[in-house]
Structure 1
Amino acid sequence: MSSIPTNEQKHLLWDWPVRVIHWLILLLLPASWWTAEEGYQDIHQYLGLTLLVAVLTRLCWGLIGSPQSRFRDFLRGPKTVLAYFRGTPSTTPGHSPPGGWSALLLWMLLLAQALTGTVNSDDVLFTGPFYYVFDSDVSDFFAALHEPIFNVILGFVALHVLSVIFYERRRDQRLLRPMVYGKAEGRYGTGPAQPAYKALLVAVLLAGMLFALLEVAPAPPTDYYW
């Protein structure tokens, strides 16, 4: 019997939710930076909250999503990561062992970036929606991390781009095409993709919860206004 997979067996490597969130984050990061630099704080805040929902949705999808989107598929122990660097091939068509941990770390940084933005303040024109949830010293401490975290994220993005170029050019491993089309010749999923509407429901639920929290967030004290 031929080992070549049939059309029915050529499952998506990256499903629609993974791809949409990936490219959405790619758009949100420069847009967030530009709006902050230009002083469009209302738009900046909206973009940051959108980023928060997107990252949280991706983390949830790591638990209930399609085979290669799940943490259990690509998070491996130190021995497996070291073995990969020594030449042992990855056992999954998705993220490599070091790539999986790198992706998780990037999501954690993006989550921290979005959360610190909600308690940020310039003490003049802009105050994050959750700034008054905490004592001002606590909020200011986390707000001070907002810009350094973004700089670290830029470093990770640069490393990610260089890694993609390296694997595409030096190892002839297609990484970009599957993130656009879901699969490429020789790179397919190990099982059927979960319906995309499930991820949409997760995103809507998270957005609803966030909106509810925004509605009950403490308002500035009455003596805050001039």
Structure 2
Amino acid sequence: MPSIRTQDRQSAAPMQHILWDWPVRVIHWLILLLLPASWWTAEQGYQDVHQWLGFTLLIAVLTRLCWGFIGSPQARFRDFLRGPFTVLAYFRGAASTTPGHNPAGGWSSMLLWLLLLAQALTGTVNSDDVLYTGPFYYVFDSEVSDALAALHETIFNVLLGFVALHVASVIYYERRQKQRLLKPMIYGKAEGRYGTGPAQAAYKALIVVVLLTAMLFTLLELAPAPPVSDYYW
């Protein structure tokens, strides 16, 4: 039986909270799988599968953005989105004030999520005029839809650059700065990298997923059908 002194030391020890909770980690690795799968299915002409992968990506990104407001401490935007002076100070050598994303990484992550969101949304108005027409292609005038669809490939090429930058940054911080980035994204935490507070219950993220999915299917049901003339060409 531990002594009173040992119990006092244990109670005085800081709580080692999760740095990255389950929703953050699952969404992170899911996006990593969805991007190459989406590219491959598009290249192979599996448009139906490509479309559902795009819907999954859309729900994943929207869930992560919602989690930025209601999630665990380090998942929230207020923890890692800083002003320009803080970002500049970080590049000049100032230390990050959070165990999560540093000031530069925070904005890089946000830009990546917004690009992914734009990629998924432009895919819903995409059309190849032969085998595939996105569910919301007819929401807009054809010129507007075609212009948005043209961005789909452009955004993907930009995303490739950001993914390459992300991988290079992880390697740099792991090897040169000796900061453990991969281990917390797998296990939730690593030695010296813990959260600043208790994690939110993962079921809350699941509720967000269900609500967003219901909204998506509702919008799909409400999407306008092709004009009658498009059936006869």
TM-score range, shorter chain: over 0.9
- Distance (Å, rounded) in 2 between the aligned partners of 1:3 and 1:97: 33
Q: How many Å separate the matches in 2 of 1:5 and 1:160?
A: 38
1:10 counterpart = 2:4: no
Corresponding residue for 2:99? 93
Specify the alignment match of 1:187 in structure 2: 193
Q: Which has the larger radius of gyration?
A: 2
Alignment of 1:36-47 (within 5 A): 36-47=42-53
Where does residue 173 of structure 2 map in the other structure? 167
**What secondary structure sits across from 1:145 in the alignment?**
helix
Deviations 1:171-209 (A, max 9, x none): 100000000000000000000000000001001100100
Q: Give the secondary-structure state (helix, strand or coil) at the position aligned to 2:74.
A: helix
Which residue number in structure 1 is paired with residue 161 of structure 2?
Answer: 155
% identical aligned pairs: 79
Are the structure 2 counterparts of residues 2 and 78 from structure 1 closer, same or farther at C-alpha, using a change threshold of 3 Å? Answer: farther
Distance 1:42 1:222 in 2: 22
The amino acid across from 1:37 in the alignment is E
What's the TM-score, normalizing by structure 2?
A: 0.94
Q: Does 1:137 align with 2:138?
A: no
Q: 2:79 is matched with which residue: 60, 65, 73?
A: 73
In structure 2, relative to structure 1, the CA distance for the partners of 1:222 and 1:77 (3 Å cut) is same
Equivalent residue number for residue 30 of structure 1: 36
**Using a 3 Å threshold, how does the CA distance of structure 1 residues 14 and 5 change in structure 2: closer, same or farther?**
farther
Q: Aligned equivalents of 2:75 and 2:117: distance in 1?
A: 18
Give the alignment's TM-score, normalised by structure 1.
Answer: 0.97
AA at the equivalent of 2:60: A
TM-fit CA distance, 1:4: 11
Which amino acid in the other structure matches residue 203 of structure 1?
V
Question: Which amino acid letter does the alignment assign opposite residue 100 of structure 1?
Answer: G
Structure 2 partner of 1:102: 108
3-state DSSP of counterpart to 1:9: coil
How much has 1:136 moved relative to structure 2?
0.5
For 2:172 and 2:12, the matched residues in 1 are separated by 28
2:25 is equivalent to residue 19 of structure 1: yes
State the match for 1:176 in structure 2. 182
Per the TM alignment, residue 5 of structure 1 is displaced from its structure 2 partner at its CA by: 7.6
Give, in angstroms, the shift of residue 35 of structure 1.
0.2
The 1:2/1:170 distance shift into structure 2, 3 A limit, reads farther
CA 1:175–1:151: 2 relative to 1, 3 Å: same
Which residue identity is paired with 2:39?
A: W
Q: CA deviation at 1:3?
A: 11
Residue of 207, 216, 223 corresponding to 2:229: 223
Matched with 1:49 is 55
Superposed displacement of residue 157, structure 1: 0.3
Quick one: distance in 1 between partners of 2:184 and 2:145? 41
Partner Cα distance (1:109, 1:87) in 2: 28
The count of residues paired between Structure 1 and Structure 2 equals: 225
Distance between the aligned counterparts of 1:51 and 1:170, measured in 2? 32
